[in-house]
Amino acid sequence: MPSNIHSGTAAGDAAITNTGDALTNTGGSALTNTSGTLENTGGSALTDIICITNRRLCCSGDLIRQLKRVLPLHPKAVVLREKDLSASDYAGLLEQCAVLCRAYDIPLIAHTFIDAARALKLPAIHLPLPVLLANGGRPAGFKVVGTGVHSANDAKKAIACGADYLFAGHIFETACKEGLPGRGLSFLNGICRLSPIPVYAIGGITLKNMPLCRNAGACGGCMMSELMRL
């Protein structure tokens, strides 16, 4: 994977660099947990956390407004996951997010909507594994392509398709997968051991359990609920 990745437009040229874990930004603010709340303390604790969006969870009721609360904390990257939108609505939201992420020098990763990402010349996209497989592998024109996996077999398929990173989950119980037990840290460790590409834990990830994910071999983790309700 290239060592330095930039988009080609003014709307989204935050750098995505590879330093052994696929996605690294240069932001320096910290996200810390104090009595269950999140606050910025000016360090670098959030450098291994990827923000996954879900506009339906936003306490502000507005995703752009919510991202203005999250981005000053400098997550590693933002994945715009709003895959229930129409292609045109997603494209419009993606453009707004690209402008905002550029202002904070945070990499933006499109999700599912290949054409919208190409239109903005974004360098990174996350595709569900079935979409990646149906596409015949990584789509042309992207420098970073990621996917999610739920088994060792999934991981092997993703790697064979040329993925640059994996989201492995769900690791812990989470409201997003209500009633389904987490696959656990042993599952995460197994994916990390077989994967030659970076693995990020997803599902029930918090700042408190992130060290456990790191110890299991993950390069970082993904947060949705906690950041959307900040």
Spatial separation of the C-alpha atoms in residues 82 and 113, rounded to whole Å:
10
Q: How confident is the model at residue 151 (pLDDT cuts 50, 70, 90)?
A: very high
Please identify which residue in the block is written with the tokens 């229930």.
Answer: 84
What pLDDT score was predicted for residue 196?
98
pLDDT, the chain, mean: 84
Report all structural domains of the chain as residue ranges with CATH numbers, in order of start: 4-228 (3.20.20.70)
Q: What is the mean pLDDT of residues 166-184?
A: 85
According to DSSP, residue 115 is labeled: H
Q: How confident is the model at residue 177 (pLDDT cuts 50, 70, 90)?
A: low
DSSP H helices, 171-219, are 184-194, 210-215
Q: How confident is the model at residue 4 (pLDDT cuts 50, 70, 90)?
A: very low
- pLDDT tens digits along 199-227: 999 999 999 999 999 999 999 999 999 99
**Does pLDDT of 74 surpass 50?**
yes
What pLDDT score was predicted for residue 131?
97
Spatial separation of the C-alpha atoms in residues 47 and 66, rounded to whole Å:
19
Please identify which residue in the block is written with the tokens 């497989």.
Answer: 133
**Does pLDDT of 114 surpass 50?**
yes
Between strands 16-17 and 4-5, the pairing is antiparallel
End-to-end C-alpha distance for the chain, whole angstroms: 33
